[in-house]
């Protein structure tokens, strides 16, 4: 994502992306309202039912970014890699001295899949 390299603080990055999503959704709601698409009672019933589900997802997503959750999950991922359950799609390997080339290839979208820096 474009913001990933532009905002150093992960919390600020998540907050910025959240605000962008909220703005996007808000503008769509305004556009739908102006077009007369928000008059259906069935739509408002669906919103009433799904809004608590959306908030539960936001709550769970916020909790998933804690170290207490991420460290054990990282252990599971590394174990699955070690055991061959997960197989990353490594398309290119670069020596560490060519890290700048790897970054340029990623930015220019000259590679797909994962790339690896060899130490």
For 43-56, the pLDDT digits (tens) are 888 888 888 888 88
**pLDDT exceeds 60 at position 117:** yes
Q: What residues does each domain of the chain span?
A: 2-71, 88-119
For 65-79, the pLDDT digits (tens) are 677 777 888 888 899
Q: Is 49 left (phi over 0), alpha (psi -120 to 50) or beta?
A: alpha
* Model confidence, pTM: 0.37
Residue with tokens 């997503």, as numbered in its chain:
61
- Give the mean pLDDT of 32-52: 84
**pLDDT exceeds 90 at position 96:** yes
Cα–Cα distance, 61 to 52 (Å, whole number):
14
Q: What is the mean pLDDT of the chain?
A: 83
Cα–Cα distance, 81 to 87 (Å, whole number):
6
Q: Which residues contact 106 (CB under 8 A, 6 or more apart)?
A: 115
pLDDT band at 7 (very low <50, low <70, confident <90, very high): confident
- Determine the pLDDT at residue 98: 93
Integer CA distances (angstroms), 50 to 16, 45, 47, in order: 24, 9, 5
pLDDT band at 5 (very low <50, low <70, confident <90, very high): low
Are 100 and 117 within 8 A, CB to CB?
A: no
């Amino acid at each position: 994502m474009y913001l990933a390299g532009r905002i150093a603080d992960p919390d600020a990055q998540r907050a910025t992306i959240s605000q962008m999503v909220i703005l996007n959704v808000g503008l769509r709601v305004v556009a739908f309202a102006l077009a007369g698409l928000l008059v259906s009672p069935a739509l408002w019933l669906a919103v009433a039912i799904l809004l608590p589900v959306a908030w539960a997802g936001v709550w769970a997503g916020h909790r998933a970014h804690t170290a207490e959750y991420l460290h054990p999950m990282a252990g599971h991922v590394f174990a699955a890699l070690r055991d061959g359950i997960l197989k990353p799609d490594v398309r290119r390997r670069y020596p560490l001295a060519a890290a700048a080339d790897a970054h340029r290839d990623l930015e220019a979208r000259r590679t797909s899949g994962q790339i690896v820096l060899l130490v």
